[in-house]
Amino acid sequence: MLMKKGSKETLAKAEDYLSEIQSLAVKPFTIMEVCGTHTVAIAKNALRELLPPSVRLISGPGCPVCVTDSSDIDRYLFLAAQPNVITTTFGDMIRVPGSEKNLQALRAEGADIRVVYSTQDALEIARKNPEKDVVFLGVGFETTAPTVAVSLEIAKREGLNNYSVLSMHKIVPPVLRLLAEDPELDVDAFLDPGHVCAIIGIKPIEFMAKEFGKPGVVTGFEALDILEGIVMLLRQRAEGRSDIEIQYHRVAKANGNPHAKMAVERVFRPVDASWRGMGLIPASGLGIREEFSAWDAERKFSLPAFHSPDIPGCQCGEVLKGRINPRKCPLYGKRCTPLKPIGPCMVSSEGSCAAYYRYSQRSGD
């Protein structure tokens, strides 16, 4: 893709990066790309195929839909089936399977489930349907949380009491710590998530370099960004350094986005959260603060706790922890394809299994 579509300058730059990678990759180096958007960009541009065999890229837990635990999925399906509720959600969630069905099937049975493109759309639906309870499914990382926080502030200011959010938001630093502490995970360095770090800055992830000696580069999402990020990581190894650096300077700043951080801080508080395949991670989720409890769907609807098992045979948990390449899942490409997905990693546009299936040609690491 890169070679076919790039301009002359892009191709020249890519060749420079690839030649530097070649000369620096004197021994094996495994890099985890944390973000699902990186996974898609790497597969789409066939970057794995361009790298020398000593540089291995593995995918991590950076797809928010994929890491949403089966119990949370069953919980929001239960809520969406309630009478008088309009469920609003981003499109990626529609086909994610719960224990028995997904939102699409529930909608076919008559539930009012609407795909929205922003929380503003969800607020507007609430304004136009005062006799209904409009719930927004809050799934995402630090990138999504600020706009959801602002929607709750707007609802409170307007007295829009028929709007609420079911917050299943997750934050990235605690899962990075879990990965760094995993003795089975063989990763030398990280391509850190550009958009998450554009919000939180680099301070919350500096422990990866300082405590665990795992260098990271906050990287953008173009093919050249990713190649440059890899070069920066290899240069760190060559110089014996372990730092968190920024490649994605045009968007991510060292201090992040103070306005977005403050909006999240005003509305959310850290809570323990369950991640698919990784269990309960302390302080890795965002719950809604007491001041906004009237707009917290969890409290408003007194939702019961679900303890749902993982999908039988699906290896999403192992894929998300970087322990296996999606192709190592026995169902990959056979019973599980983007048209007939079994697990969320094959449903979501940012899921590793979907990205590998759609774009990658390589036979697997």
Residues that bind ligand SF4 (CB under 6 A): 314-316, 319, 326, 329, 331-332, 336, 342-343, 345-346, 353
Q: Which is nearer to ligand SF4, 59 or 219 (CB)?
A: 59
Q: Which is nearer to ligand SF4, 36 or 201 (CB)?
A: 36
Q: How far is the CB of 325 from ligand SF4 (least distance, A)?
A: 10
Q: How far is the CB of 311 from ligand SF4 (least distance, A)?
A: 7
Backbone angles phi, psi at 31, to 5 degrees: -120, 130
Rounded-to-integer distance, Cα 177 and Cα 174, Å: 5
Q: Which is nearer to ligand SF4, 275 or 292 (CB)?
A: 275
Rounded-to-integer distance, Cα 332 and Cα 289, Å: 41
Backbone angles phi, psi at 164, to 5 degrees: -150, 165
Q: Which is nearer to ligand SF4, 29 or 332 (CB)?
A: 332
Long-range contacts for 249-253 (Cβ within 8 Å, ≥24 apart)?
250/220, 251/194, 251/195, 251/198, 251/220, 252/194, 252/195, 252/197, 252/198, 252/201, 252/202, 252/218, 253/198, 253/201
Q: How far is the CB of 75 from ligand SF4 (least distance, A)?
A: 20
Which parts of the chain fold into alpha helices (H)?
2-5, 8-24, 36-44, 47-50, 64-67, 70-80, 103-108, 119-128, 145-158, 172-181, 194-200, 207-210, 223-239, 258-267, 297-300, 316-320, 344-347, 352-359
Question: Could you tell me if 209 and 243 are in contact, meaning their C-beta atoms sit under 8 angstroms apart?
Answer: yes
Q: Which is nearer to ligand SF4, 232 or 319 (CB)?
A: 319
Q: How far is the CB of 356 from ligand SF4 (least distance, A)?
A: 9
Q: Which is nearer to ligand SF4, 218 or 336 (CB)?
A: 336
Q: Which is nearer to ligand SF4, 284 or 325 (CB)?
A: 325
Q: What angle do CA 313, 318, 323 make, to 5 degrees?
A: 135
Q: How far is the CB of 314 from ligand SF4 (least distance, A)?
A: 3
Q: How far is the CB of 329 from ligand SF4 (least distance, A)?
A: 3
The number of helix segments (H) and strand segments (E) in the chain equals: 18, 11
H or E element at residue 343: none
Q: How far is the CB of 320 from ligand SF4 (least distance, A)?
A: 9
Residue, CB closest to ligand SF4:
343
Q: How many CB atoms lie within 10 A of CB 308?
A: 16
